Amino acid sequence: MTRIIHISDLHFGADDAELIEPLFDAVTGAEPDLIAVSGDLTQRARSSQFRAARAFLDRLPSPWICVPGNHDIPLHNPLMRWTIPYLNYRRFVDANLAPTITVNDVRVHTLNTSDPYSWQKGRLRNRQITSACSGFSGFDGVRVLMCHHPFSQSPESHKQLMPKAEETLSRLADCGTDLILSGHLHRWWAEPFVQRKGVGRILQVHVGTGLSTRRRGQENDFAILDFVDGGCRVHRMVAEGTRFREDSVAWHQLNPKR
């Protein structure tokens, strides 16, 4: 079994400080093989907020992989946002904005979907899609893609979907993507995308916010993903007081081995 923890939208600078230690304890206690962080580590991309985020990441017990979110580029400094938008992210988190990692039988490719010119909506970069599909080619294990922005969302969401999301989702299905991890909406959603004829389905696990005080009517949460026997067991962990407890567990069959 391979275990990945998926957390997102920590928003240091607008975080619930009383949940930092409970989140750390819950993640540590789960003994993951990898921790996947799908963006928005900070609230306003300030150095102090990135320092706090990096201090949290450095305490984690397992390797981690991360991508920037729209809050990880400066909003109120247009010159910096348009010329050096990822300066602090590269300085404090990772110079690579779309890293890749393989852990046991799971390969995780990431996309940087943040867009300095369209701050909240996000965008898809063709070269990253091509790179991910190339990296999945020939790999017989579980193929996971992580990005900050979702490829679909519920009708009540007020945020705009990324341009070309549906078209790109088809490309990802064609190259055998099994699972997409995302955040951004501060809402939990774990279910397969609508399956197209002749194309394997993709499971989406869209977590809410790990630490932000902007909960949007839902609890702070994160996901524990167990990959075993050709499927993924998805545990939703939610904050209750000053601890995280298991709220639900669902089993999803993944595409057959290639």
Evaluate whether residue 67 is within a structural domain: yes
Helix orientation angle between 165-174 and 126-136, rounded to the nearest 10 degrees:
20
**What average pLDDT does the segment 155-169 reach?**
81
Evaluate whether residue 229 is within a structural domain: yes
77, 44 Cβ separation under 8 angstroms: no
* Length of the chain, in residues: 258
Evaluate whether residue 10 is within a structural domain: yes
176, 145 Cβ separation under 8 angstroms: no
CA distances from 32 to 64, 206, 224, 245 (A): 10, 18, 8, 16
* Separation CA 210–CA 186 (nearest Å): 9
User: Containing H/E element for 23?
Assistant: helix 20-30
Is residue 155's pLDDT more than 90? Answer: no
Question: Percentage of residues in the chain with pLDDT exceeding 70?
Answer: 95
| pLDDT tens per residue, range 45-78 | 999 999 999 999 999 988 999 999 999 999 888 8
**What average pLDDT does the segment 180-184 reach?**
97
Number of domains composing the chain: 1
Tell me what pLDDT residue 223 has. 98
Beta bridge partners of 34: 4
Give DSSP secondary structure letters for 86-99: THHHHHHT-S-SS-
189, 223 Cβ separation under 8 angstroms: no
- For the record, the structure tokens of 18 come out as 């009383």
How does residue 152 score in pLDDT terms, banded at 50, 70 and 90?
confident
| pLDDT tens per residue, range 113-136 | 999 998 788 999 999 999 999 999
Tell me what pLDDT residue 197 has. 47
Tell me what pLDDT residue 156 has. 65
Give DSSP secondary structure letters for 143-206: EEEE-SS-S---TT--SPPPTTHHHHHHHHHHTT--EEEE-SSS--EEEEPPPPTTS---EEEE
- CB within 8 Å of 87: residues ≥ 6 apart: 80
Q: Could you give phi then psi for residue 146, rounded to 5 degrees?
A: -125, 135
Instruction: Give the domain range for residue 189.
Output: 2-253
Evaluate whether residue 258 is within a structural domain: no
Evaluate whether residue 162 is within a structural domain: yes
Tell me what pLDDT residue 128 has. 94
Tell me what pLDDT residue 181 has. 98
Is residue 229's pLDDT more than 50? Answer: yes
- For the record, the structure tokens of 91 come out as 């300085």
| pLDDT tens per residue, range 2-26 | 999 999 999 999 999 999 999 999 9
User: Containing H/E element for 26?
Assistant: helix 20-30
| pLDDT tens per residue, range 194-219 | 655 445 689 999 999 999 999 888 99
Q: What is the pTM of this model?
A: 0.94
Domain of residue 73, CATH code: 3.60.21.10
Buried-exposed string 220-235: b where 16+ CB fall within 10 A, e elsewhere? bbbbbbbbeeeebbbb
